[in-house]
Chain A
Amino acid sequence: MPSLEISKKDLEQLVGKKFKTKDELEETLQYAKTELDSLEGDLIKCSPSDTNRPDLYSTEGIARELKSRLGISPGIPKYAVKKGNVKVTVEKTVEKTLPFFVGAVVRNVKVTEDMLIQLIQLQEKVTTTFGRRRREAAIGIYDFDKMKPPFFFRGYKDNEIEFVPLEYKVPMRPSEILLEHPKGKEFAHLLAGIERYPIIIDSANQVASMPPIINSQATGKVTEKTKNLFVEVTGHKLETIQTALNVMLMALADRGGIIESIEIEYPKSPTYKQQKIISPQFDTGSMTVPKKLVNEITGISLDEKKTVTLFQRSGFDVKNTKDAFIVMYPKYRQDILHAVDIIEDLLISIGYNNIELSPLKLAVLGSESKTGRELDDVRDACIGMGLQEILTFNLTSIEKQTRLIGIEKDEFVQIANPVSQNSEIFRKQLYPELLEFLAKNKHAQYPQKIFEVGKTVSIDPSKETGCRETDKIAIVIASTTTNFTDIKSHANALAKYSNQKISFVETEHPTLESGKAAAVQIGNRKGILGELSKTVSLQFGLKTPVTILEVEL
């Protein structure tokens, strides 16, 4: 979910309406599925929630949506495109790395500092969220007057090309940019292992950029002196980059820019459905929305004329037929995959808070899972024994589950991208977590008698998820009077409570004191119990005698 910073005054100017209170602003922004995070003076911080609506990631985009919803300009937003004469040739040498390219010229742009900030914010949000961090769409904006058309999108080997990247002074090879330039380092993975680097170059052999990484210093720097812009988007899917391009162009046109088309020629290859296209395309799609489905989803009986108006206010054009509304939508609305996507917009235009609620009446019986109830019984037994229940985390450290409890090595279900060492594996035993709890509570009054009922996880290829998840109970007692007899009494009590047979076998266990440790079996559930060894006590800094019991449930 992108978060935006926009000017309230700017938004009001673009919409043509003033928002008198914060509540009114908040309510109205909901039409654009946008949450108001804060309003301080003129600064609005807000977050559009739909990751498939890049058209809402700017002041212009939100204003466009609100104008439609408020009835100021309903229907599909119309944008004029003047025929231009710039040609771009996409060459076969980029087909494998970055096959698609679209673009347009925007003339008569009034570049101001504020406008530039907004433009860069939009470019950033579109490429990050909608463009999946530039993997699916990367946007370049240039000072058109510094470029010499026609342009070429071409692959170069590392030793064939060099240029000065943005904010640098010396020419660099593509591989050097990926190693040294901050943007190069950030996005190097997108060009990893390729032979030819994708380069946009003009007829004067001047490099414009190396998408999706960086523009050149020569043409890729837009300032307040810039009058005419060239905008391009590269990616792997034509529809995706067309959406990104249209989003950029509409924002520029909303501020008075004049869009001029370009002609793009793609190489002959099955990758490309067409060899020549005119860009940009402000196409519309159409979706049949059955009236039956509208009623089924909304549960509201709506007047048809009213429904048409509400569709228009959602930014669509509509034809009302006998059984369905034929809804035309702009192609950049890539969130529209199904009629339900149109119906949601209808509901938003109605206003969620204007809808009458309906009670849910289903004659079904509820219940907790059998395991859940059984685990509760064990908890009750422990409470009855006077133990304090605690809750620890499933994720823990290897250290705590091995070395600290006297185990040399073990195999765990392990996280590939841990945030910290404290959460690098799923625990296999509960008691190390309880021992740590004791270690953190040495100042609290003794005796300390605690328990936890929780899951442990181990690798098991026979399981559906490759992991075996086991419910366990651990009891840990720290007291001057606790000993093997004491913890054995607790084990017996557990068995008695669940009406199960219990048996003990003397054992050696790395965590437990030799001669004071036993393997226990309650019914068919296995576990261990005994006195904590001196070495392990020392590892956790525990001075009071400690006994532990851990059994599967």
Chain B
Amino acid sequence: MTIEKTIKSLSDIERQTIRYLSEKKPKTIEEISDESKLHIDSVRRAVNWLTEKKLAKTDTQTQSEWKLTPAGKSSLSNGLPEILFLRAITDLNGKATLEQIYKKSQLNRPELNAAMGLCRKNAWITVSKQENEVVLELTGIESEILERKYRLQETLIQVSKGNQPGKPNPIIEDLRRRGLIEERAEKATLATLTTEGAAALPLLEKNKTRNFDVQGEVPELFFGKKQPYQQFLKLVTRKLNEMGFMEMDSPLVTQEFYNFDVLFQPQNHPARSWTDTYQLKQPKTGKLPPSPVVSAIKAAHENGGKSQSTGWQYDWSEEIARRVMPTAHGTAHSARQLVKGVSIPGKYYTIARCFRPDVVDATHLIEFNQMEGIVIGDDLNFRHLLGLLKQFAVEFAGAEEVKFAPSYYPFTEPSVQLNARHKELGWIELGGAGMFRPEMHENLGISQQILAWGIGIDRLAMLKLGIKDIRYLFSDDLTWLRNAPAVKLE
């Protein structure tokens, strides 16, 4: 790299920092920070970068420094023992016994004795024995330290502020001996300019624009982003629209009438029990459609109604049908659509949020989506249903091969299960389908056959999103959502 190129790669902070470096005089990071008024962390980073670019070099030196010991810190805040000692005598009118001073000064015995020795040595006090007691008396010289400056204390204050004595001196030695300060070794980074750095300095002004290190790290940008599962469902929606399917209403709460009764599920069917579906504490009931429809469904259950069926042979209850519940399966919405009215020919779909009491784990949610729909038209038969299912397998799962198996749903006959062979996963169960029972559509006044289908959309989504845990469909992990790649439908 030429020196010009190197200069162009310098960031603002590097440019500001390099000016304070010298070829001859090594400086610590702290010194550069002080001089340049730049933050110490910025300087540290800039010096590192300049070193990488060979404009500066650094050297680590161990420097020794005087620091206060815990005893030193305590003396600084409470006062030095000799000061406390002299103050105590002053308060006792300039003359006192050692015991009096002990009580007054709050010093401990060793401190008391040390202070007494020091004061005597400096001739601040005289010591005499009177009537078997040691009596101490101020000499007047003590006022030089009590009223004026006491150099020992001054030095202690300076050291506490980080100011170091230039040369060894007796006061420092005194403080060290008394255990108030100690010498500690610290490592310091010293930076100097290299020859290249020195050469670069005069060229800085001429090369002001910066060239970026294109391979360098930059901060991550979090952009507006769709939830991956939601995005997948939208792609599926678009595909279904292209295939000619029209969306149906899909309320979260439905009457049992649509969830079960229209679908010819007898009112004592185990799937209607407390453990298999959610029920509501409030509200309890909703409204039924106009009575001709209700009577037709009642007849379907009790004796087959207009169809050539025996029905389930029991007394059908309108009360049960009126109850409301969280939608348990998407077919409830096909039932609602059939009652509301359908265009013939017609293709309908819903991607419905459904609810079932379950224990949530990696493969179960109590709230999930089902993709379901119906096809209605003249002359539709089982072969068309199989043809449609194969189309779904190809469009949605990129399946190479399909296999069908007999299956059971209370509302379809014949019923079929769709299995598809996926490139990576082998055979997977993709959905279920069937032809609506005649008890249903014949009693709703529809003479055409109705093909009904459902695709396990949540499983398909897991496949497409590459996740093993179904809970990630509703991920509460922001980092995962931010990093999840965009979904494709192939």
The answer to whether A364 and B347 touch (CB under 8 A), given A298-B381, A344-B413, A466-B286, is yes
Whether B404 and A386, one on each chain, are in contact in the complex, defined by CB atoms closer than 8 angstroms, is no
Contacts of B285 in A (CB 8 A): 466
Whether B311 and A337, one on each chain, are in contact in the complex, defined by CB atoms closer than 8 angstroms, is yes
Whether B249 and A369, one on each chain, are in contact in the complex, defined by CB atoms closer than 8 angstroms, is yes
Whether A355 and B382, one on each chain, are in contact in the complex, defined by CB atoms closer than 8 angstroms, is yes
Q: Which residue of A lies closest to B283 (CB)?
A: A466
Whether B408 sits at the interface, judged by CB under 8 Å, is yes
Whether A364 and B283, one on each chain, are in contact in the complex, defined by CB atoms closer than 8 angstroms, is no
Residue from the list A135, A364, A391, A448 in contact with B230, Cβ < 8 A: A391
Whether B255 and A392, one on each chain, are in contact in the complex, defined by CB atoms closer than 8 angstroms, is no
Q: In the bound complex, how far is the Cα of B481 from the Cα of A449, in angstroms?
A: 12
Whether B452 sits at the interface, judged by CB under 8 Å, is no
Name the segment of B9-17, B144-152, B154-162, B387-395 touching the other chain.
B387-395
Residue from the list B226, B375, B377, B383 in contact with A389, Cβ < 8 A: B226
Whether B227 and A391, one on each chain, are in contact in the complex, defined by CB atoms closer than 8 angstroms, is yes
Q: 8 Å CB contacts to A: which residues of B270-329? A: 270-271, 273-275, 278-287, 304, 307-314, 324, 326
Looking at the assembled complex, report how far the CB atom of B51 sits from the nearest CB atom of chain A, in whole angstroms: 30
Whether B382 and A448, one on each chain, are in contact in the complex, defined by CB atoms closer than 8 angstroms, is no
Whether A455 and B252, one on each chain, are in contact in the complex, defined by CB atoms closer than 8 angstroms, is yes
Q: 8 Å CB contacts to A: which residues of B219-243? A: 220, 222-227, 229-230, 234, 237-238, 240-243
Whether B283 and A340, one on each chain, are in contact in the complex, defined by CB atoms closer than 8 angstroms, is no
Q: In the bound complex, how far is the Cα of B408 from the Cα of A30, in angstroms?
A: 12
Q: In the bound complex, how far is the Cα of B326 from the Cα of A395, in angstroms?
A: 10
Whether B186 sits at the interface, judged by CB under 8 Å, is no
Whether A385 sits at the interface, judged by CB under 8 Å, is yes
Whether A49 sits at the interface, judged by CB under 8 Å, is yes
The answer to whether A383 and B255 touch (CB under 8 A), given A364-B244, A467-B283, is no
Of B252, B286, B413, B474, chain A has the most CB atoms within 10 Å of the CB of B413
Q: In the bound complex, how far is the Cα of B410 from the Cα of A180, in angstroms?
A: 37
Whether A158 sits at the interface, judged by CB under 8 Å, is no
Looking at the assembled complex, report how far the CB atom of A240 sits from the nearest CB atom of chain B, in whole angstroms: 10
Contacts of B223 in A (CB 8 A): 386
Whether B245 and A338, one on each chain, are in contact in the complex, defined by CB atoms closer than 8 angstroms, is no
The answer to whether A469 and B251 touch (CB under 8 A), given A299-B381, A352-B405, is yes
Residue from the list A366, A384, A423, A447 in contact with B224, Cβ < 8 A: A384
Q: Write the A389-407 contact mask toward B (1 if CB under 8 angstroms, else 0).
A: 1111111000000000000
Q: In the bound complex, how far is the Cα of B407 from the Cα of A300, in angstroms?
A: 20
Contacts of A298 in B (CB 8 A): 381-383
Residue from the list A49, A388, A417 in contact with B482, Cβ < 8 A: A388
Whether B382 and A415, one on each chain, are in contact in the complex, defined by CB atoms closer than 8 angstroms, is no
Q: In the bound complex, how far is the Cα of B366 from the Cα of A393, in angstroms?
A: 9
Whether A270 sits at the interface, judged by CB under 8 Å, is no
Q: 8 Å CB contacts to B: which residues of A431-469? A: 436-437, 440-441, 444-445, 447-450, 455, 457, 459, 461, 463-467, 469
Whether A426 sits at the interface, judged by CB under 8 Å, is yes
Q: Which residue of B lies closest to A379 (CB)?
A: B226
Of A132, A298, A395, A464, chain B has the most CB atoms within 10 Å of the CB of A464
Whether B224 and A358, one on each chain, are in contact in the complex, defined by CB atoms closer than 8 angstroms, is no
Looking at the assembled complex, report how far the CB atom of A451 sits from the nearest CB atom of chain B, in whole angstroms: 9
Whether B355 sits at the interface, judged by CB under 8 Å, is yes
Whether A81 sits at the interface, judged by CB under 8 Å, is no
Whether A416 and B279, one on each chain, are in contact in the complex, defined by CB atoms closer than 8 angstroms, is yes
Q: In the bound complex, how far is the Cα of B461 from the Cα of A77, in angstroms?
A: 46
Whether A365 sits at the interface, judged by CB under 8 Å, is yes
Looking at the assembled complex, report how far the CB atom of A273 sits from the nearest CB atom of chain B, in whole angstroms: 13
Q: In the bound complex, how far is the Cα of B246 from the Cα of A217, in angstroms?
A: 62
Whether A491 sits at the interface, judged by CB under 8 Å, is no
Q: 8 Å CB contacts to A: which residues of B474-490? A: 474-479, 481-482
Whether A419 sits at the interface, judged by CB under 8 Å, is yes
Whether A204 sits at the interface, judged by CB under 8 Å, is no
Looking at the assembled complex, report how far the CB atom of B3 sits from the nearest CB atom of chain A, in whole angstroms: 38
Whether A419 and B353, one on each chain, are in contact in the complex, defined by CB atoms closer than 8 angstroms, is no
Whether B194 sits at the interface, judged by CB under 8 Å, is no
Contacts of A170 in B (CB 8 A): none
Contacts of B390 in A (CB 8 A): 357
Number of A positions contacting B (CB below 8 A): 94
Whether A95 sits at the interface, judged by CB under 8 Å, is no
Whether B388 and A360, one on each chain, are in contact in the complex, defined by CB atoms closer than 8 angstroms, is yes
Contacts of B324 in A (CB 8 A): 465-467
| Contacts between the two chains (Cβ within 8 Å), count | 282
Whether B478 and A362, one on each chain, are in contact in the complex, defined by CB atoms closer than 8 angstroms, is no
Name the segment of B76-84, B114-122, B170-178, B435-443 touching the other chain.
B435-443
Q: In the bound complex, how far is the Cα of B276 from the Cα of A129, in angstroms?
A: 13
Contacts of A33 in B (CB 8 A): 406-408
Of A129, A300, A344, A355, chain B has the most CB atoms within 10 Å of the CB of A344
Whether A369 and B414, one on each chain, are in contact in the complex, defined by CB atoms closer than 8 angstroms, is no
Whether A94 sits at the interface, judged by CB under 8 Å, is no
Q: Which residue of A lies closest to B389 (CB)?
A: A357
Whether B188 sits at the interface, judged by CB under 8 Å, is no
Whether A385 and B224, one on each chain, are in contact in the complex, defined by CB atoms closer than 8 angstroms, is yes
Whether A359 sits at the interface, judged by CB under 8 Å, is yes
Q: In the bound complex, how far is the Cα of B413 from the Cα of A50, in angstroms?
A: 11
Whether A35 and B405, one on each chain, are in contact in the complex, defined by CB atoms closer than 8 angstroms, is yes
Whether A356 sits at the interface, judged by CB under 8 Å, is yes
Looking at the assembled complex, report how far the CB atom of A374 sits from the nearest CB atom of chain B, in whole angstroms: 13
Q: In the bound complex, how far is the Cα of B307 from the Cα of A461, in angstroms?
A: 35
Which size class do B's interface residues fall under? Answer: 35 or more
Residue from the list B252, B417, B439 in contact with A457, Cβ < 8 A: B252
Whether B247 and A419, one on each chain, are in contact in the complex, defined by CB atoms closer than 8 angstroms, is no
Q: In the bound complex, how far is the Cα of B229 from the Cα of A294, in angstroms?
A: 42
Contacts of B310 in A (CB 8 A): 337-338
The answer to whether A372 and B247 touch (CB under 8 A), given A30-B406, A364-B347, A423-B367, is yes
Residue from the list B271, B284, B386, B476 in contact with A441, Cβ < 8 A: B476
Whether A389 and B230, one on each chain, are in contact in the complex, defined by CB atoms closer than 8 angstroms, is yes
Looking at the assembled complex, report how far the CB atom of B174 sits from the nearest CB atom of chain A, in whole angstroms: 50
Q: Which residue of A lies closest to B249 (CB)?
A: A369
Contacts of A502 in B (CB 8 A): none
The answer to whether A366 and B240 touch (CB under 8 A), given A388-B482, A392-B474, is yes
Q: Which residue of B lies closest to A439 (CB)?
A: B476
Whether A415 and B244, one on each chain, are in contact in the complex, defined by CB atoms closer than 8 angstroms, is no
Contacts of B437 in A (CB 8 A): 338, 340
Whether B439 and A390, one on each chain, are in contact in the complex, defined by CB atoms closer than 8 angstroms, is no
Q: Which residue of B lies closest to A443 (CB)?
A: B479
Whether A368 sits at the interface, judged by CB under 8 Å, is yes
Whether B283 and A459, one on each chain, are in contact in the complex, defined by CB atoms closer than 8 angstroms, is yes
Whether B227 and A390, one on each chain, are in contact in the complex, defined by CB atoms closer than 8 angstroms, is yes
Q: In the bound complex, how far is the Cα of B279 from the Cα of A464, in angstroms?
A: 17
Whether A516 sits at the interface, judged by CB under 8 Å, is no
Q: In the bound complex, how far is the Cα of B416 from the Cα of A30, in angstroms?
A: 11
Residue from the list B269, B312, B347, B360 in contact with A362, Cβ < 8 A: B347
Contacts of A465 in B (CB 8 A): 251, 253-255, 283, 286-287, 324
Whether B358 sits at the interface, judged by CB under 8 Å, is yes
Q: In the bound complex, how far is the Cα of B415 from the Cα of A353, in angstroms?
A: 13
Q: 8 Å CB contacts to A: which residues of B357-411? A: 357-360, 366-367, 375, 377, 379-384, 386-388, 390-391, 403-408, 410
Contacts of B268 in A (CB 8 A): 132, 135-136
Q: 8 Å CB contacts to B: which residues of A405-435? A: 411-419, 423, 426
Q: Which residue of A lies closest to B323 (CB)?
A: A466
Looking at the assembled complex, report how far the CB atom of A207 sits from the nearest CB atom of chain B, in whole angstroms: 29
Residues in B lying within 8 Å of A, measured CB to CB: 220, 222-227, 229-230, 234, 237-238, 240-249, 251-255, 268-271, 273-275, 278-287, 304, 307-314, 324, 326, 343, 345-347, 353, 355, 357-360, 366-367, 375, 377, 379-384, 386-388, 390-391, 403-408, 410, 413-417, 435, 437-439, 449, 451, 473-479, 481-482
Q: List 8 A-B contacts (CB under 8 A).
A: A352-B404, A383-B226, A386-B222, A386-B223, A391-B227, A417-B278, A450-B478, A466-B285
Instruction: Add 16 more A-B contacts to A393-B367, A459-B282 (CB < 8 A).
Output: A35-B417, A298-B381, A337-B304, A348-B406, A355-B386, A364-B346, A382-B224, A388-B222, A388-B481, A394-B355, A413-B280, A415-B280, A419-B357, A426-B253, A447-B222, A465-B251
